[in-house]
Amino acid sequence: MSRGICPRVNSFDSVRILALVIFAVNAIEADKHTCYEVRAAFQQRYIGPLHLVPEKPYKDADLQICKHQGPSCCTKKMEECYQAAVKRETLQKIESYTYELENMLSSQLDTFQDMFQYLLSFSQGHLSSLLEGTYSSLSRQALPHVNQLFSSLSLYLRGANISVEMTIHKFFNNIFPLVYARLINPGIEGSVTAGSTMGDCLRMIRQDVKPFGNHPVTMAQELAEVLETGRQLSLGLDKGLEVINATEHADLSRDCVKGLAKMVYCSHCRGLTLIKPCVGYCLNVMRGCLASMAELDQPWRTYISSLKKLTLAMAGHHSLELAMLGVRGHVNEALLYAQSHGPLITATVDKVCGLSTREPPGMWSMRPEVTTSSTTLTSPSPSASSSSSSSHILPVERVARFAHLKREFLGQLQRYKSFFNTLPELLCDGEQTMDDSTCWGGDGVVESYNARIVRNGLHAQRQNPEVKVRSMDPTIAEFKKRLEHFNQETQEKFPNLNEIEVWEEPGSGEEQGSTADCDDEDGCQSSGDDDEQNYDINGQTSDGGQPGGDNTQEPHPKPPAVKVVGGSPPTSWQQPRCLALLFAGLCLKWLLI
């Protein structure tokens, strides 16, 4: 019965089974001693020609980086390919992290330039409509000077070496002959033409005679302050792009490349293509490679802080918009001042440039008399002024967009404040390293990396056990100096920036009583209280008033004292309405948002 259940196996079958078992064992052992996995990884990562990888591991005495006492799947030629590959891969990873920062700076530069140009264009149209509607007698000849004024301001904001004060004074110098011949003394246009001796004399004496009072000086000071801030912000964004571009194209030292190849690819030489470096090991290698970039950390933090304060000084509480909208009001008040002081101005001009009229004496009686009790001017009526100013108020969607751009920019700046200090951690994060029980420690598989992990910075990296750090990269050193020069220049030009405090850190969490779409700076009220938050800049609060005092205006200064027969100068004139109406309109729209 047992023989039927278990049939006998003859000796030939036993030999065949034994042979198959021996063949399978030999095949497995042979596969363990091939470089198949290394060849596959070498090909998949496009490291180099596949024929450089040996079929089986062997001892290569020429290895310089991946030295190993036992057999290896690497050759010296493969080491060279590994160095080229790891250098390329590391620079690509650095570029991937700097791309977002570079794109942010570039897009914000374009956005701010577009905002500047829009405000300049809007203000230019604002002023042109005033001249065409109220001062039509001189608008055609004055409009080219208006175009030149805003064209020069545009170039200034783009970095041109132009003085805002000189540009504005040149504008008033150029329109003074027109105002003198068409508003103060209408009918003498023929003697005050372009290129005439009289016209040249009027342009030369304008700042001494002060036919427009102090309005040109006030306008120049207001615009110079806010436009210089905007210009410095644009230059700063451009400077940041230069620094980021330099870091993307900075070369890696030979010691760094060797350390990277040892960290990433030397494990392949032993057939370990899937194991990853230990976290601490990676940090030492990356910090050694990026020691020069880490030296940018402190000037970069100062740079980011300067950009934030420049943004608040320029755009906080709509300073830029109000300054640009105020151009129309300043020019209008300047022209009204000239009309109201016509006889004094004429007498002064006659003394300096000669008799300006050169017409029969009877022509004097045809001029409009200016007295302290009654004055005939071409100023718009209150209703017309209100209608005109309200029709030129900046569109509410533009005001909201400018406020949103400011908030967004401040939040983005905060994210990148410590960029160069955290770049090694970013490169070692994720799938690059592993923190499991075993990892690659450079010389073999270890349970943990026990070497000292050095801090960032060139001086600390001198003690790096994995990468020899000798000196700072000359390219990075040059751009570090440029960044420090920009920071110093900003501090010298704007010493009061230190008085601006950034009350909240965007991105660090929402303050109680605020929302993501609205803040107190943009005219929105928080749910917690109705107090208005102001910044104290140059001794003035953000709403333009003096802390603890009344916001009053100085009366118009008088022109040079000259005795005029047949009339006396008025002692005062109406307070400027245009800018006040514009400001009131803006505030009303902000409250309705």
CB-CB contact of 210 with 243 (8 Å): no
pLDDT value, residue 193? 64
Whole-structure pTM value: 0.70
Radius of gyration of the chain (CA): 38
Nearest residue to 231 (alpha-carbon basis) of 181, 300, 158, 329: 158
CB-CB contact of 493 with 228 (8 Å): yes
Residue 20 has pLDDT above 70, yes or no: no
- Residues 291, 328: Cα–Cα separation, whole Å: 54
DSSP 265: T
Residue 301 has pLDDT above 80, yes or no: yes
- 446: helix, coil or strand? strand
Amino acid at 234: S
Residue 483 has pLDDT above 90, yes or no: yes
pLDDT value, residue 102? 92
pLDDT value, residue 223? 92
At 301, which helix (H) or strand (E)? helix 297-315
Q: Mean pLDDT throughout 345-352?
A: 89
Mean pLDDT over the full length of the chain: 75
Taking the CA atoms of residue 505, residue 510, residue 511 and residue 517 in that order, the dihedral angle to the nearest 10 degrees is 100
pLDDT value, residue 374? 31
Give me the percent of the chain exceeding a pLDDT of 90.
42
Model confidence over 390-425: pLDDT tens digits? 334 666 767 777 777 788 888 888 899 999 999 999
Kindly report which listed range (151-165, 228-242, 509-523) carries the lowest average pLDDT score.
Answer: 509-523
Highest mean pLDDT among 239-243, 249-253, 536-540: 239-243
pLDDT band at 501 (very low <50, low <70, confident <90, very high): low
Taking the CA atoms of residue 108, residue 422, residue 93 and residue 45 in that order, the dihedral angle to the nearest 10 degrees is -160
pLDDT value, residue 23? 37
Cβ-count burial of 443 within 10 angstroms (0-12 exposed, 13-18 middle, 19+ buried)? exposed
pLDDT value, residue 330? 95
Q: Mean pLDDT throughout 259-268?
A: 94
Q: Mean pLDDT throughout 318-327?
A: 84
Model confidence over 514-528: pLDDT tens digits? 333 434 434 333 333
- 277: helix, coil or strand? strand
Q: Mean pLDDT throughout 45-73?
A: 87
